[in-house]
Amino acid sequence: MKQAIPERFLISPFLAFFVIHAAQIGVGALSFQRPLMKEAGQDAWIVVLLAGLAAHGLVWLMYRLFSYSPSGGDIVSLHEQYFGRWIGGVLSLGLLFYYALVALTVLQSYIEIIKVWVFPLMGAWQFSLVFLLLTYYAVLGGFRVVAGLCVWGVVIPLLTIFPMVFFPLEYAQYRNLFPVFDHSFGQLVKASKEMTLQYLGFEMLLMYYPFLKNAPSSQKWAHAANAFTTFIYLVVMLISIVFYNKEQIQHITWPTLTLAKIPEVPFIERMEYIVISIYVLVVFPIITISVWAAMRVVKQLFAVQQRRSLPVLLAVLFVGTLFVQEKTDIDRLMKWTAEAGFYLAAVYIPLLYVYVWAAEKVKKALQQKP
């Protein structure tokens, strides 16, 4: 459990860019404009930047945190090192639940989109079954397969979906951006909490950190990934501000998908269906990586083979998708995940860092005394 992971399982540091970016942009990117513009109106793009900066700080903090951990350690071994087997184990178990919750939320909200837009008569279970079987296959392939999925989950949507958000500029009302700073700083900070779920994804790093070759050197890639995520949210937000007005957007459930209704090509009139289909590639890496992270927690804690524990987790997720079906339930689930992620990334990680930092100080002082 403590020994370093063999090199053939590791990934290059620059791949951290894809893994983090893929995990950050998910179903939230289709609907984040609505709560943001409700709170901050035309200044919503500033909120995106503020939240992006905060995420940068947290990524930095995570890397600092790992500088205290023994080589090849992840959050589970860190917990054990500083809190002992039992308390540390309970904390890691909390992490396991969180990762499972992320997987369930993403899967369920994507299924909801499919059901609303494409196949209204389809049952959730058929889709979730296929999806979870694929997840089983990918996660058993190990972290390198998961990272490979993330690469394609970034590159393909970037080349296909991202250009589509520029077509609505045909209807742009640039005056919607003015007056800038019509909202107080307090309002903007309050609104930036709505961006939590959108920037979350970097906290998976807590589990795969030891899988990065020469891990500390991957920090610049992690920051680059976060900066790129900020950039994409910023572009989508700016386009949404000039395309919709504040009142109108409150009546649209997935503003990004409605943006995709604008481009028209002769052989296919409705691009949003293409976007939804390609979005599988955005959603799938998030599910695999969170399931993988959850499995990793199990393996580190109980030394159970993934082959055994994975079907159990996937079965739980499958049953979960059967129960959470109504829109209000899915919204509540998303809210819980955002809340849990917020407390994990923005509250727990800083506290843990302070604790570890203090413990190291104390340890050093004790060592110097005799």
Partner 1 sequence: MRRGLAWIGALLLLSGCASSRPIDEIQIIQQMGYDFENGRYTGTAVYPTFKQGPMTKPNMLTTTSPTIYDLIPRLSSKSALPIEEGQLRLILFGQEFARRGVTQITHSLARNNKVGSHLLLGVAEESARELLKITAKTTLSDTLYLPNVVEQNEQSMNLPKTNLHLFLYRYFSPGSDPFLPYFEKKGDFVKLEGVALFRDDKYVGHVSLRDSFLMKILLGETKNGVYQLKVGNRGKQGEDRVMLQNLWAKPKYEWKRDGSRHALDVFVHIHASVRDYPSWLDHPGDDLFDDVKKKMENELEHNMRRLFRYFQKKRIDPLGIGDFVRSVTRHWDPDAFYREYPDIDIRPHVTVDIVHTGIGE
Q: How far is the CB of 265 from partner 1 (least distance, A)?
A: 12
Contact 216, 63 (CB under 8 A): yes
Residue 2 tokens read as 């403590």
Q: Which stretch binds partner 1 (CB under 8 A): 98-106, 118-126, 194-202, 206-214?
A: 118-126
Distance (Å, rounded) from C-alpha 24 to C-alpha 81? 29
Q: Which stretch binds partner 1 (CB under 8 A): 5-13, 130-138, 153-161, 233-241?
A: 130-138
Distance (Å, rounded) from C-alpha 173 to C-alpha 155? 30
Q: How far is the CB of 161 from partner 1 (least distance, A)?
A: 17
Q: How far is the CB of 249 from partner 1 (least distance, A)?
A: 8
Quick one: 362 exposed, middle or buried, by C-beta within 10 A (0-12, 13-18, 19+)?
exposed
Angle between helices 124-140 and 306-323 (to 10 degrees): 160
Q: With binding defined as CB under 8 A, does residue 326 bind partner 1?
A: no
Q: With binding defined as CB under 8 A, does residue 331 bind partner 1?
A: no
Residue 206 tokens read as 């807590």
Q: Which phi and psi (to 5°) does residue 265 adopt?
A: -125, 155
**Of the candidates 61, 93, 129, 304, which one interacts with partner 1 according to CB under 8 A?**
129
Q: Which stretch binds partner 1 (CB under 8 A): 19-27, 94-102, 222-230, 265-273?
A: 265-273
Distance (Å, rounded) from C-alpha 188 to C-alpha 46? 8
Q: Which stretch binds partner 1 (CB under 8 A): 6-14, 227-235, 258-266, 356-364?
A: 258-266
**Of the candidates 56, 190, 193, 261, which one interacts with partner 1 according to CB under 8 A?**
261
Distance (Å, rounded) from C-alpha 307 to C-alpha 124? 25
- Assign 32 to helix, strand or coil: coil
Q: How far is the CB of 74 from partner 1 (least distance, A)?
A: 28
Q: Which of residues 191-220 bind partner 1 (CB under 8 A)?
A: none
**Of the candidates 97, 162, 171, 231, which one interacts with partner 1 according to CB under 8 A?**
171
Residue among 9 and 137 whose Cβ is closer to partner 1: 137
Q: With binding defined as CB under 8 A, does residue 186 bind partner 1?
A: no
Q: How far is the CB of 272 from partner 1 (least distance, A)?
A: 8
Q: Which stretch binds partner 1 (CB under 8 A): 71-79, 153-161, 168-176, 353-361?
A: 168-176
Q: With binding defined as CB under 8 A, does residue 184 bind partner 1?
A: no
DSSP-assigned letters across all residues of 323-347:
H--SHHHHHHHHHHHHHHHHIIIII
Q: How far is the CB of 41 from partner 1 (least distance, A)?
A: 10
CA distances from 297 to 36, 52, 143, 306 (A): 34, 28, 13, 10
Q: Which of 337, 281, 300, 349 is nearest to 65 (CA)?
A: 349
Q: Which stretch binds partner 1 (CB under 8 A): 15-23, 117-125, 294-302, 327-335?
A: 117-125
Q: Which phi and psi (to 5°) does residue 339 adopt?
A: -65, -50
**Of the candidates 6, 86, 121, 265, which one interacts with partner 1 according to CB under 8 A?**
121
Q: How far is the CB of 304 from partner 1 (least distance, A)?
A: 23
Q: With binding defined as CB under 8 A, does residue 247 bind partner 1?
A: yes
Q: How far is the CB of 113 from partner 1 (least distance, A)?
A: 10
Q: With binding defined as CB under 8 A, does residue 122 bind partner 1?
A: yes
CA distances from 21 to 60, 132, 157 (A): 15, 22, 12
Q: With binding defined as CB under 8 A, does residue 270 bind partner 1?
A: yes
Q: Which of 70, 102, 76 is nearest to 88 (CA)?
A: 76
DSSP-assigned letters across all residues of 201-231:
TGGGHHHHGGGBTTGGGGHHHHHHHHHHHHH
Total number of residues that touch partner 1 (CB under 8 A): 33
**Cis peptide preceding 179, ω within 30 of 0:** yes
Which residues of the shown chain bind partner 1 in the complex (CB under 8 A)? Answer: 116-117, 119, 121-122, 126-127, 129-130, 133-134, 137, 171, 173, 175-179, 182, 244-245, 247-248, 251-252, 258, 261-262, 264, 269-270, 272
